[in-house]
A and B are shown apart, each in its own frame.
Chain A
């Protein structure tokens, strides 16, 4: 029986990889993840080492992507920065996903009740503020730093997650098999955990993937504005900010980290699109 489900998952994985978007997205994200994990081994130079002689040097054989305003190796800083960005993305999604699933599930299952109304009104209020602004306000209160940044962006992401989870739960709830579970005597708790959530996973996972890209963008933006990761820690957003003054003479300082941010977000978005298409049976039919 366990073999059957392991087999089934393998078959599912193979089918997924045939989807070009999913494949591309996974390749990009895996590359970045590898970078983050093996950062220590991949970095050609010490990312914090200042070498004023090499200031603003364009790409060369020594510094493959050039050096920044303090002579630090951009490539090494990008590699180490991946750890920060992906780490934040992961933390943000874990936080907002957990809270979003709890709130969204109750809200969706008890659709129309006072609980649902209360939760949705709170989410409506939260969503009045643009995400970055909300995070900025929170950071203003807590101060900068990796953990605070993660929590701030996480909180800003709770509302959209809750709505997506609620929508998914409501749509799964419409199915006859949920009614069948009730008719057979399943408790509400059991119905939610065993019947509704596993079937609602697809849209939730897709959205989580897209949100990771958003989280990377938020982190970079906030650090760019000086509210997130503080120097000298390498972070892609700060690196773009550092290179602002030198855009005309040494564009590479901002450009390369900027490109990496774009690639990361693109990777998550394309993966998310691919997952969305993959799970949508009608799109699958048309292509087949």
Chain B
């Protein structure tokens, strides 16, 4: 299988199922057949509401959880076949920034120690002095004052802690960085600073990100490609702009319509998606979205619809393929094209 040189990660049919105690021997299909490709230098966004499995995808690819099945080619290697001892070199190339700035840094380690630690574990520098130098450099790259290095996490603000987390992720020059809701715990003004920084770093160092969020506005700002997840499956994948202009899958429509837009000129009346996300233990048959879908047909309750290309590089898992609409977010209208 030849792999284009500019594809960093290629995931095929990834599944992660959890067994639960109650109700009896039920299975939670947290990730149920997810496939996508991440191009170098770009940001791949994964959006979905709680329970859709987006964080689980990241954790499985990072091998923080073991996959139930599926394949993942990263930097030419089949990462799901690596043994435990081979994981360490993998960790060098794949990093993650977690959601919680208040919990992802060791409270007993100074900021600079947290940044130095990955380099020391993997022996990427020639010695203590170089490690120190690189760590200080990283701190200033993320916009922190070098003398904040000797501080402890609880002495820093949320935004500053996230910057430390980013510096730590960068310290090993990874090929891919997962950003799992990196700004949802931050104030909007701090969020803007951190997001700008992430984008600048991406341009400067040709970084590749997988950006996970439930916030569509952030996803539009950050990502080049977008995947929408619902109950463990991808329902729509494609270039972000295309999806925002002409979303195909009804769930994508619903997500986009539901956003509270910070502009009073936007029409308030719009179709609101009814119902709740079903429990991942009891995923509806056929298309998992069918109980809530305004366009549901009998066929939808039968087989699980596959992701099919409906337009240039835009894939959707809705069988009503011929339906073409244009979403006007401003007027909140779905207009047939």
List chain B positions with a Cβ less than 8 A from chain A. 62, 64, 87-88, 91-92, 95-96, 98, 100, 103-108, 110, 117-118, 121-122, 150, 152, 165, 168, 172
Contact (A184, B106) CB under 8 Å given A1-B150, A179-B98: no
The answer to whether B107 and A176 have CB atoms under 8 Å apart is no
> In the complex, what's the smallest C-beta–C-beta distance from A133 to chain B, in angstroms?
37
Hey, which chain B residues are within 8 Å of A1, CB to CB?
110, 150
The answer to whether B105 and A190 have CB atoms under 8 Å apart is no
14 A-B pairs (CB sep. < 8 Å): A1-B150, A4-B150, A175-B103, A177-B106, A179-B64, A179-B104, A180-B104, A180-B106, A183-B62, A183-B91, A184-B95, A185-B118, A185-B122, A199-B107
> In the complex, what's the smallest C-beta–C-beta distance from A110 to chain B, in angstroms?
14
Contact (A184, B91) CB under 8 Å given A4-B150, A179-B98: yes
Expressed in whole angstroms, the Cα–Cα distance for A183 and B118 within the complex equals 10
Nearest-neighbor residue (CB-CB) of B92 within chain A = A185
Hey, which chain B residues are within 8 Å of A198, CB to CB?
108
Partner of B121, one of A176, A179, A190, A199: A190
Hey, which chain A residues are within 8 Å of B88, CB to CB?
185, 187
Kindly state whether residue A8 has any CB partner on chain B within 8 Å: yes
> In the complex, what's the smallest C-beta–C-beta distance from B140 to chain A, in angstroms?
18
Hey, which chain B residues are within 8 Å of A186, CB to CB?
117, 121
| A1-34 contact mask (Cβ, 8 Å, vs B): 1 or 0 | 1001000100000000000000000000000000
Contact (A184, B98) CB under 8 Å given A175-B103, A176-B103, A199-B106: no
Hey, which chain B residues are within 8 Å of A179, CB to CB?
64, 98, 104
Expressed in whole angstroms, the Cα–Cα distance for A181 and B108 within the complex equals 13
Expressed in whole angstroms, the Cα–Cα distance for A185 and B172 within the complex equals 11
Count A-B pairs with CB separation below 8 Å. 58
> In the complex, what's the smallest C-beta–C-beta distance from A102 to chain B, in angstroms?
21
The answer to whether A176 and B150 have CB atoms under 8 Å apart is no
> In the complex, what's the smallest C-beta–C-beta distance from A174 to chain B, in angstroms?
9
The answer to whether A184 and B168 have CB atoms under 8 Å apart is yes
> In the complex, what's the smallest C-beta–C-beta distance from A153 to chain B, in angstroms?
32
The answer to whether A176 and B100 have CB atoms under 8 Å apart is yes
> In the complex, what's the smallest C-beta–C-beta distance from B77 to chain A, in angstroms?
16
Hey, which chain B residues are within 8 Å of A194, CB to CB?
106
Kindly state whether residue A49 has any CB partner on chain B within 8 Å: no
> In the complex, what's the smallest C-beta–C-beta distance from A225 to chain B, in angstroms?
44
Nearest-neighbor residue (CB-CB) of B121 within chain A = A185
| A182-203 contact mask (Cβ, 8 Å, vs B): 1 or 0 | 1111110010001100110000
> In the complex, what's the smallest C-beta–C-beta distance from A282 to chain B, in angstroms?
15
Hey, which chain A residues are within 8 Å of B96, CB to CB?
180, 183
Expressed in whole angstroms, the Cα–Cα distance for A32 and B98 within the complex equals 49
The answer to whether B91 and A185 have CB atoms under 8 Å apart is yes
Expressed in whole angstroms, the Cα–Cα distance for A190 and B92 within the complex equals 17
Nearest-neighbor residue (CB-CB) of B84 within chain A = A188
The 8 closest A-B pairs by CB, nearest first: A185-B91, A176-B103, A176-B104, A184-B118, A198-B108, A177-B106, A4-B150, A180-B104
Expressed in whole angstroms, the Cα–Cα distance for A194 and B64 within the complex equals 19
Expressed in whole angstroms, the Cα–Cα distance for A195 and B168 within the complex equals 16
Expressed in whole angstroms, the Cα–Cα distance for A227 and B88 within the complex equals 55
Hey, which chain A residues are within 8 Å of B110, CB to CB?
1, 4
Hey, which chain A residues are within 8 Å of B117, CB to CB?
181, 184, 186
Nearest-neighbor residue (CB-CB) of A183 within chain B = B96
The answer to whether B107 and A177 have CB atoms under 8 Å apart is yes
For chain A residues 195-238, which have a beta carbon within 8 Å of chain B? 195, 198-199
Nearest-neighbor residue (CB-CB) of A199 within chain B = B108
Expressed in whole angstroms, the Cα–Cα distance for A181 and B103 within the complex equals 12
Given contacts A176-B103, A183-B95, 8 further A-B contacts (CB under 8 A): A1-B150, A176-B98, A179-B98, A180-B96, A180-B105, A184-B118, A187-B121, A199-B108
Hey, which chain A residues are within 8 Å of B150, CB to CB?
1, 4
> In the complex, what's the smallest C-beta–C-beta distance from A149 to chain B, in angstroms?
36
Expressed in whole angstroms, the Cα–Cα distance for A184 and B87 within the complex equals 10
Nearest-neighbor residue (CB-CB) of A181 within chain B = B106
Expressed in whole angstroms, the Cα–Cα distance for A183 and B165 within the complex equals 12
Expressed in whole angstroms, the Cα–Cα distance for A60 and B5 within the complex equals 96
For chain A residues 89-119, which have a beta carbon within 8 Å of chain B? none
For chain A residues 143-183, which have a beta carbon within 8 Å of chain B? 175-177, 179-183
Nearest-neighbor residue (CB-CB) of B106 within chain A = A177
Hey, which chain A residues are within 8 Å of B98, CB to CB?
176, 179-180
Expressed in whole angstroms, the Cα–Cα distance for A182 and B122 within the complex equals 13
> In the complex, what's the smallest C-beta–C-beta distance from A251 to chain B, in angstroms?
52
> In the complex, what's the smallest C-beta–C-beta distance from A5 to chain B, in angstroms?
8
Hey, which chain A residues are within 8 Å of B100, CB to CB?
176
Nearest-neighbor residue (CB-CB) of B119 within chain A = A184
Expressed in whole angstroms, the Cα–Cα distance for A4 and B150 within the complex equals 7
> In the complex, what's the smallest C-beta–C-beta distance from A120 to chain B, in angstroms?
18
Hey, which chain A residues are within 8 Å of B103, CB to CB?
175-177
Expressed in whole angstroms, the Cα–Cα distance for A187 and B88 within the complex equals 8
Interface centre among B118, B122, B168, B172 (most CB of A within 10 A): B118
> In the complex, what's the smallest C-beta–C-beta distance from B56 to chain A, in angstroms?
13
Expressed in whole angstroms, the Cα–Cα distance for A190 and B122 within the complex equals 13
Expressed in whole angstroms, the Cα–Cα distance for A128 and B152 within the complex equals 43
Expressed in whole angstroms, the Cα–Cα distance for A8 and B96 within the complex equals 30
Hey, which chain A residues are within 8 Å of B64, CB to CB?
179, 182-183
